[in-house]
Structures are given as C-alpha cells and as structure tokens.
Amino acid sequence: MARIEKEEKSTLTTVNFFGTASSAWVAPSATLLAGERKAQRRIGTAALEVEGRVVSVFSFFVHILKVLGFQRRKDIIMGACCSHVSVHDVEFSCKHNHDDGSCEQGGNHIMSRGSSEFVSMYSKKGSKEVNQDALTVWKDFTAKKDMIFCGVFDGHGPLGHKFSQSIRDKLPSKLSASIKQSQQKVIKHNDTNATYGSSHSEMLVKDNQNMSFSSWEGSFMKCFTEMDEYLAKNIDSKGFSGGSTAVTVIKQGDQLIIGNLGDSRAVLCRRADDNHLIPVQLTVDLTPDIPSEALRIINCGGKIFSLKEEPSVNRLWRPNGSRPGLAMARAFGNFCLKDYGLISVPDVSYRKLTEQDEFVVLASDGVWDVLTNSEVIDIVASAPKRSMAAKLLVDHAVKAWKRKYVSMVDDCTAICLFLKDQTVLTQS
C-alpha cells in the first residue's frame, strides 16, 4: 500500500495478545468496530482451574481429528477455554499439496500462485522489504463444482503482511462455512414449501441451493466482522496501526457476488456488439472522499485532511492529527482508528453475468494507481495466453511506477478470472 503514512513512535499502551505457558492469561480484546472498544479483563485463578478440567475433553477432540487425517496449525493454538475462538475459527493445514503451489482442503482446490483454465494470478514485491499483498483462489468453493472464490488483500503499515496473509488464510474458510449454513437453510425452506404446497420465493433463482442476495450479504457482513475480531485478538500489538484491504469475488454459474473493503478494486471486461472492450468497475474505492464515509468519520470525531506533498489524497486521522493517516474509510485492522470512523463493514454487491462478459480483474492499488480501468482490460486482453495475463498486467504496472515515480514502486498483485471456456483475448 503506497498511500499509508509511516508510523511514528507512539506512547499508546497496547496489549500483547500472545501469552506464554507461565504467564497469566489476558482475555483478548473484543470487537473494535464502529467506535466501540470493550475493556480488557484478566482471567483469574478460578478460571484457570476450570480450564484444566476442560483440557482432557479438548485433547480428545484434537485426537479424533488427527485420526481423521486433519493437521492442526501450530500458529493458532491457544488456550482451550480462554481463547474465545469458535470451532469455525480453528484452521487446519492442507492435506494434499501440489507442485504448482495449490492444495486440497475440505473439497476446495486452493491456489496461491500460478494459473489454471479460468484463472491467472501474480504478485510482485515493490520497493519495500516485504510484499504486503496476498492473494488466493478457491476453486470448487463450498465443495461446489460451479463456484469459485477470488481474493486480493493489500496490507499496509506495521505488520501489514501479517494482516493480509491472515485474511487470505482464514476469510475464505469462514465464508465457506457461513454460505453452507445459508444454503442448508434454503434447502430446508424449499422442502417445507414443497410439503405444504407453497410457491418458491421470488428471491430464489435457478435451483434450491441458490441464496437470496440478502443471505449472501449477511454472510459477508458476518464473516468480515468475525475476521476483524480475530485480528484484534491475535495480531501482535506492534501491528496496532497496521491493516489490510480486501476485494473478493464469488462466482457461481452466472452470478457474481462482490465483497469489498478499502481501495483495492474489481473491474469487469465486457465486449460490445462492435467487439470493443468496455471496463465496468464492480467496486467503489472506499476512501474519505465519499461524502457518506466522510460524514461517519466526522461524527465519530475523526479528522480528514491531505498532506502538502499529496494534496489530492485525503486521509483519515485521529482527532489530534497524529500519524498514521489512512487513505481509506474502511479496512481490516488499523485499530488505532476504529474509534474514529474507520469500519470493517464490506460493501457487498451482486451482478448477473451475460454472454458479453469476458473476464474480471481483481488487483491491489499498486495496479490501479498507475493504470486506468481501460488500460488494465486492454493489457489482459492482449495476453497471448490466459496463463500469462496476470503477470503481463503486473509487469506493465511496475513499468508505469518506474516511469512515474522513479525510485518508488508499490506491491502489485492481480487475479484474472476468465468467464468463458474459450475467449478471444486479443482485440480485433
């Protein structure tokens, strides 16, 4: 993320959420959303005694999972009853890893690099020491052959890469579990209607496992909130002012559900009747420039102003104007700004695909800051092979950064999701 001010030394007192075996347990902070921060509380000796009696049951549960072939991720092991982590938060590593960087997990085929028949993905580190971008593609999402999940996550600030990587690893599984629950409710609802002779709801389309938009939106809202809560509990205190964007797309058949947080972007390429390519921006850059976002920030006591060296970039600041200033109105993390109007509520939208729609590009702002929507779809369409499309786009973005800024290049990440079995990529 290029547009994030460097963190100055802060006198803020924060809590280290990682305890040791010999240390007293500290309850992790609750949700830090919408200007509300709940007080931390220390768990006493009595609670620890209760925990000890629960461990044997928990250990038996873990043993059963191991027998079934699951492997527990060491980086998220926490206290059995003091972690406040739900069953859905427990993540297991992929069981079958492939040479192309993909793996299998719970019926999902997960990609973190490379390409497939319908996907091209690529990420390149910029001038910083570490690439703070992350990306993922889940084919057969929710174990359905016609469903795919794509996500690009652009970290920023202290431990920005930890934020983006954690979101990449956990958000899709949260969404998958939530969507499965909603689909089961739809099936039960339709079975009940069939039993009593009721007609199908007008909001349900095609088959009895498709959900209404409100159900999709509810799943995104719920899972983004849970994701931010997880980050608040588990990210090291050094990352108190770091965070990440998220631009996500779920495609099922001819339906496209988009969930967006921050200023990463998704753009659809449509082919007009005259064969001309038209960019359709699917997301809104959620910045303080949007009047409704600015109003919320001001009402929460936050400040909005730009720096002299960047007069066109408005940022969200704390009331005293102390750094960091964030060029977004919504983001995961950035807990130092959550009391002042920054939220992690996604903007969720729906689009029905047509025969004119060719592909969707998801990318971090390292791409969009230096290339227009039209330039992006033209570059992708010019790729001689689908597998080369994302790398070609990122390479063009890097060259544009070097022309524009000489010594500074942002991390650049892109996913190209092709919508047809065969697409004539090169324009006539």
Render pLDDT for 223-275 as a digit per residue (tens, 0 to 9).
Answer: 999 999 999 999 888 888 999 999 999 999 999 999 999 999 999 999 999 99
Which residues is 261 bridged to in the sheet?
246
- The second-level CATH assignment, the architecture, of 97-418 is 4-Layer Sandwich (3.60)
Spatial separation of the C-alpha atoms in residues 128 and 230, rounded to whole Å: 26
pTM equals: 0.73
Spatial separation of the C-alpha atoms in residues 297 and 304, rounded to whole Å: 8
Which residues in the chain come in under a pLDDT of 50? 2-65, 67, 71-93, 95-96, 189-209, 423, 426-428
Any idea what the Cα angle at residue 94 is, between residues 88 and 97, rounded to 5°? 165
The predicted-structure confidence for 283-296, as pLDDT tens digits, reads as follows: 999 999 999 999 99
Domains of the chain by residue range: 97-418
Spatial separation of the C-alpha atoms in residues 224 and 348, rounded to whole Å: 11
Element (H or E) spanning 378, and its range? helix 373-381
Specify the 3-state DSSP secondary structure of 182. helix
Percentage of the residues of the chain whose pLDDT score is greater than 70: 67
Per-residue pLDDT, 88:
35
Any idea what the Cα angle at residue 280 is, between residues 278 and 284, rounded to 5°? 155
User: Could you tell me if 266 and 283 are in contact, meaning their C-beta atoms sit under 8 angstroms apart?
Assistant: yes
User: Could you tell me if 121 and 100 are in contact, meaning their C-beta atoms sit under 8 angstroms apart?
Assistant: no
Per-residue pLDDT, 111:
76
